[in-house]
Amino acid sequence: MTTAAPENRPRDGAARASFWEDAHSGKDVDSVSWWQSVPGLSLDLVDRTGVGRDEGVIDVGAGWSTLTDHLVQRGHTDVTAVDLSRTALDTVRARLGDAGRDVALEVADVLDLHMGRTYAVWHDRAVFHFLTEPDERDDYRASLDRHVRPGGWVVVATFGPDGPTTCSGLPIVRYTHEALAAEFPGYELVATTGDDHETPWGTIQQFTAVLLRCA
């Protein structure tokens, strides 16, 4: 695990919300490094879980990712996307149009998430790696534990050991598969994978991904 040097990073919920709203406000979807028109790695991992189309899937820190769109197109009927940025989720809502009438889009902090229900799949691409402080990772795990049903699945993708050391100007933690799986000791490691994400401006970012299962 490699940690970038701490800088002026948002440390509380209000600061995080303000930072991430600013990161999306007034921007084009493909102006952010993490943009993908087809989230292939994520779709593959959701497929690998084998969950039914009517089982709950939550994408935390979804931003304006197209994962929700693709899940809806594939027939998933219980999809939730959570993000700190209302602008990001409004973009998803507008893009989905009528197809998104049953999609839940919630402005909320994954470090203090209370959806009042559980899900069959928890998906996170490029959020956990922003948690450079142990207490933040504890808060994330508490949210995770509240929302994954017994036997449910967890997909977490972060920058890999050769990935960038920052994202959006914030320090991140780079993970090997082993280090990432070790962050979730109560979950069984089912699969490891990753990809080389090509940013909209053609640079490559190495991602590490794990598929875990709740006991």
Ligand X SMILES: C[S@@+](CC[C@H](N)C(=O)[O-])C[C@H]1O[C@@H](n2cnc3c(N)ncnc32)[C@H](O)[C@@H]1O
Helix (H) or strand (E) holding 192: strand 187-198
In this chain, which stretch among 57-65, 94-102, 146-154, 203-211 interacts with ligand X, using CB under 6 A? 57-65
34 binds ligand X (CB under 6 A): yes
- Of the pair 12, 215, the CB lying nearest ligand X is at 12
194 binds ligand X (CB under 6 A): no
In this chain, which stretch among 49-57, 125-133, 174-182, 199-207 interacts with ligand X, using CB under 6 A? 125-133
- Please state the closest distance from residue 168 (CB atom) to ligand X, in A: 7
68 binds ligand X (CB under 6 A): no
208 binds ligand X (CB under 6 A): no
69 binds ligand X (CB under 6 A): no
Asked whether 120 and 149 are in contact (CB, 8 A), the reply is: yes
Both tokens of 193, joined, read: 């994978």
DSSP 30-78: GGSTT--SS-HHHHHHHHHHT--TTS-EEEET-TT-SHHHHHHHTT---
Binding to ligand X by CB under 6 A, coded x per residue (else -) over 95-124, reads: --------------xxx-------------
SS3 state of residue 120: strand
d(CA 99, CA 142): 32
Please report, for residues 13, 28, 72, the alpha-carbon distance to residue 33 in angstroms, rounded to integers and kept in the order given. Answer: 23, 11, 24
207 binds ligand X (CB under 6 A): no
Q: Smallest Cα–Cα separation from 136: which of 16, 34, 42?
A: 16
Question: If binding means CB under 6 A, how many residues of this protein chain bind ligand X?
Answer: 20
Among 49, 68, 78, 83, binds ligand X (CB under 6 A): 83
126 binds ligand X (CB under 6 A): yes
Residues near ligand X (CB under 6 A) are 16, 20, 34, 61-63, 65, 82-85, 88, 109-111, 125-127, 130, 167
